[in-house]
Amino acid sequence: MESASIKKSRRHEILKNIKKNKLIYLMILPGILYFFIYKYLPMTGLVISFQDYKPYLGISGSEWVGFEHFERLFTSPDFWMIFRNTLILFALQIIIFFPIPIIISLMLNEVRHSLYKRGIQTLIYIPHFMSWVVIVSISYVMLTLDGGIINSLIEYFGFEKINFLMNEEWFRPMYILQVIWREAGWGTIIFLAAITGVDPQLYEAAKMDGANRLRQMWHITLPAIRSVIIIMLILKIGDVLELGFEHVYLLLNASNREVGEIFDTYVYTAGLQQGQFSYSTAVGFFKGVVGLILVIFANRLAKRFGEEGIY
Amino acid sequence: MRNRISVGSKIFDVINYVLLGLLALVMIIPFIHVVGSSFATSAEIAETSFLLFPTEFSLNAYKYIFSTDTILRALLISVTVTVGGTLWSMFLSTLTAYGLSRKDLVGRRFFNFLIVFTILFNGGMIPTFLVVEQTGLLNSLWALIIPVSINAFNMIILRSFFMNLPAGLEESAKIDGASDFGILFRIVIPCSLPAIATISLFYAVTYWNTYMHAILYISDSAKWPVQVLLRQIVVLASGINYDGATYTDVPPPEVTVKMATIVVATVPVLLVYPFLQKYFAKGALLGSVKG
C-alpha cells in the first residue's frame, strides 16, 4: 500500500519535472535520438551474427544459424593470425608508446623558459591534427625505394636500400613510430595538466633533503600524477582492439598482410568487400565484447589499487 | 646568499633542452620536407632527394593539380562537409550538453550513462553500415555527417564546462524571465566561448580528416573528399595496394604532385591551428580532468 503511494508520488514528481523542464527535454531530444538511431540501433543489428543474413531478406527474413559464424571464426587459421597481430600491436602501444607522453611531460615540466616550452609544445602537437592519410602518405613518399629521403640517406651512407613498405619486418616498427609521431605530443596535455597540480612545497622540501632533479621527478612528480597515469592506462586497455582501422588499413598491402591484418581491417574486407555480413559482424561482436570486458576488468583493478577508475 | 644552481642541474638542463628540441625537429621535419619538395622542380627532386628548401622555386605541381577539377572538386566537398558538419555537430552537441548539464533534470544520470556506454561498446562496422544504408544516406555527403553528429567525448567536455559556470548566472537570467533557450543562447554560450571554440576545432579537424566513413559509405568517386583522393594519389599510385587492383590507366603522378597534394590536404588544418591553440589546450584539459 505504502510503496504504491510512494511510486505514485514519484511518478507525479517526474511528470511535474518534465512539465517544468519541457524545453530542456526538447533540447536533448535530437541528441538522444541520434544516439538511439546511430549507436543503439546498430547494437540490435548484432543479431545478424546469429543469422545467415541476406540483404534482400532483412533481419526478420534471414535464417537463424546459432553460433555457426562464431565456430567458423574460432576454428579458422585467419582468426589466430588477426588475434596475434592485434595483440602484438596492442602490446607495442602499451609498452612502447604509453610511457612516451609521460616522459615528454616530465621533460617539458623541467623547462623554465616558457617561450621555449610553448614553442616545443606547439610543434609536437601539430601531427595530431593531421589525418592518418596524411601521416601515412608522408611516410610513403619518404620511405619509397626510388628517391625517398630515407632510402637516399641510407644509400648515401653506403648501405643497402630497404623496402620498408613491402617488408613484413618493417610493418610493426613503422606502425608504432607513426603512432608516436602523431600522438606522443598530444598525449602530454593531460599529464602536464596533472603535473601543474603538484604542490611546489614538496619540491622545496625535496631540495632541502638534497634530492637532485632526476630524484625529484622520480619521487615527487611521478607519484603525484600516478592516478592520472592509471586512468589513462585503463582507457588505453579499453582501447585494446581499437588500434585504428584507418591507420592499419592504409599501411596494409599484399606483402605485409600476415603481420598487419587486425580485427577491424578483417571485418571491412570480409564484410563489406566480400559481402559476408553475418560472419564479419560476428568478428566485430567478439571484438566489442572483449573490449568491454577489458575496460570493466581494468577499472576493477584500478579500484582495487585504491584509485578512482573511470566510472 | 646567492641562489646557486648546481653543475648537475645545469647539465640536466642542457641535455633536457637539447633532447626536447631534437624531438620537436624530428616530428616537424617531415612536414617541412614535403612542403619544400612540393615547391621544387622535378629535376631538383631527382637530383637531390633529401631536400628541405628548394633552390629553384616552382609552382608547377600546384598548377598541375589545380588544372584538373578532380582535386578542386574533392577540396570543395571537404570544405562543405567540414563547415556544414561542424555547424550541425556543434548545434546538436551544445543543445544536448546544456540539457544534460542542468542538475534539475530528471533522468539526467540515465541519459548520461546511455551516452557514455556508446564509448565503451558499439554495434561495429557492419551493423552501423546497415543502419546508414537503411536511413538512406549511402553515397550521399550526408553519410559523412549524420552518423557522426555527436562525438560523445566532445559533448561531455562541453557539458563539464557548462556545469562549471557559476549557478548565479542562470538564476539571475531566470528571474529576469528568460526561457531555457534564452539562457542557453544569451548567457551560457557567450560565457563558454573558449570551450565552444575548442570543440568546434575538434569537430572541424575530424570532418576535414574524414576518410574511413568516406570509403565505407561513398562509392561514387565524384563525391570523394580530399583525404580519399590523397590516398589514391600517394598510396595506391605507389603500386603497393591492398585490394590488388591496379591503376595502370593513369601514369603515376610525379613526386612533386604527390607532395603538393599532401600539402593541399593539410593546409586548412594548419591555418586554424595557431589561432585556436591557446583555446584547445585549455578546453582539452578541462575535459580530460573532469570528464
Average pLDDT for residues B44-69, to the nearest whole number? Answer: 81
CATH (domain of B169): 1.10.3720.10
Q: How confident is the model at residue B16 (pLDDT cuts 50, 70, 90)?
A: very high
Question: Which residue from B238, B167, B197 is spatially nearest to A253, judged by alpha carbons?
Answer: B238
CA distance A17 to B50: 68
Q: Say if residue B86 is in the same domain as residue B196.
A: yes
pTM: 0.89
Q: Within an 8 Å CB–CB cutoff, is residue B230 touching chain A? A: yes
- Confirm whether B178 is domain-assigned: yes
Among the candidates B15, B33, B57, a domain finishes at: B57
What letters, b where the CB count within 10 A reaches 16 and e where it falls short, cover A70-79? bebbeeeeeb
Q: Say if residue B159 is in the same domain as residue B269.
A: yes
Q: How confident is the model at residue A24 (pLDDT cuts 50, 70, 90)?
A: very high
CA B211 to chain centre: 11
- Confirm whether B246 is domain-assigned: yes
Within 8 A by CB and 6+ apart from A88, the residues are A172, A259
pLDDT digits (tens, 9 = 90+) for B243-279: 444 444 445 568 888 999 999 999 888 887 776 666 6
Q: Say if residue B22 is in the same domain as residue B107.
A: no
- Confirm whether B2 is domain-assigned: no
Average pLDDT for residues A98-106, to the nearest whole number? Answer: 96
Q: Which residue has the cell 612536414?
A: B31
Q: Which residues of A touch B125 (CB under 8 A)?
A: 245, 264, 267-268, 271-272, 280, 284
Q: Say if residue B44 is in the same domain as residue B72.
A: no
To the nearest whole Å, the CA of A38 is away from the closest chain B CA by 6
Closest CB from A116, A156, A190 relative to B17: A116
Does the pLDDT at position B241 exceed 70? no
Range(s) of the domain holding residue B261: 61-289
Q: How confident is the model at residue A35 (pLDDT cuts 50, 70, 90)?
A: very high
Q: Say if residue B119 is in the same domain as residue B34.
A: no
Q: Which residues of A touch B121 (CB under 8 A)?
A: 43, 288-289, 291-292
pLDDT digits (tens, 9 = 90+) for B170-220: 888 888 888 889 999 988 999 888 889 889 988 999 999 999 999 999 999
Closest CB from A40, A104, A147 relative to B46: A147
B 146-165: CB under 8 A from A = 146-150, 155
SS3 of chain B: CCCCCCHHHHHHHHHHHHHHHHHHHHHHHHHHHHHHHHCCCHHHHHHCCCCCCCCCCCCHHHHHHHHCHHHHHHHHHHHHHHHHHHHHHHHHHHHHHHHHHCCCCCCHHHHHHHHHHHHHCCCCHHHHHHHHHHCCCCCCHHHHCHHHCCCHHHHHHHHHHHHCCCHHHHHHHHHCCCCHHHHHHHHHHHHCHHHHHHHHHHHHHHHHCCCHHHHHHCCCHHHCCHHHHHHHHHHHHHCCCCCCCCCCCCCCCCHHHHHHHHHHHHHHHHHHHHHHHHHHHHHHHHHHHHC
More confident residue, B33 or A299: B33
Q: Say if residue B107 is in the same domain as residue B214.
A: yes
Among the candidates B57, B72, B92, a domain finishes at: B57
Mean pLDDT, all residues of chain A? 89
Q: Within an 8 Å CB–CB cutoff, is residue B34 touching chain A? A: yes
Closest CB from B27, B98, B124 relative to A281: B124
Residue A117 CA: distances (Å) to CA of A82, A110, A192, A205? 41, 9, 12, 25
Interface touch A124/B9, C-beta < 8 Å: no
Give the range with max mean pLDDT: A29-43, A118-132, B161-175, B181-195: A29-43
Q: Say if residue B83 is in the same domain as residue B50.
A: no
- Confirm whether B13 is domain-assigned: yes
Q: Say if residue B117 is in the same domain as residue B189.
A: yes
Q: Say if residue B50 is in the same domain as residue B93.
A: no
Q: Say if residue B200 is in the same domain as residue B85.
A: yes
Interface touch B123/A30, C-beta < 8 Å: no
Of how many residues is chain A composed? Answer: 311
The reported pLDDT for the residue numbered B50 is 65
Among the candidates B18, B38, B57, a domain finishes at: B57
Q: Which three cell numbers stand for residue A107?
A: 621533460
Interface touch B123/A132, C-beta < 8 Å: no
Q: Say if residue B53 is in the same domain as residue B133.
A: no
Interface touch A39/B118, C-beta < 8 Å: yes
Q: Say if residue B172 is in the same domain as residue B283.
A: yes
Mean pLDDT, all residues of chain B? 85
* 3 state SS of A62: coil
Q: Which three cell numbers stand for residue A151?
A: 632510402
Element (H, E) at A63: strand A63-64
Q: Which residues of A touch B216 (CB under 8 A)?
A: 268, 272
Scanning every residue of chain A, which has its alpha carbon at the shortest distance from the alpha carbon of B22? A120
Interface touch A246/B20, C-beta < 8 Å: no
Q: How confident is the model at residue B291 (pLDDT cuts 50, 70, 90)?
A: very low
Question: Which residue from A169, A172, A168, A175 is spatially nearest to A256, judged by alpha carbons?
Answer: A168
- Confirm whether B1 is domain-assigned: no
- Confirm whether B137 is domain-assigned: yes
Instruction: Tally Cβ neighbours within 10 Å of residue A11.
Output: 10
Q: How many domains does chain B have?
A: 2
pLDDT digits (tens, 9 = 90+) for A236-273: 886 666 778 899 999 998 889 999 999 999 999 999 88
Q: Which residue has the cell 538511431?
A: A37
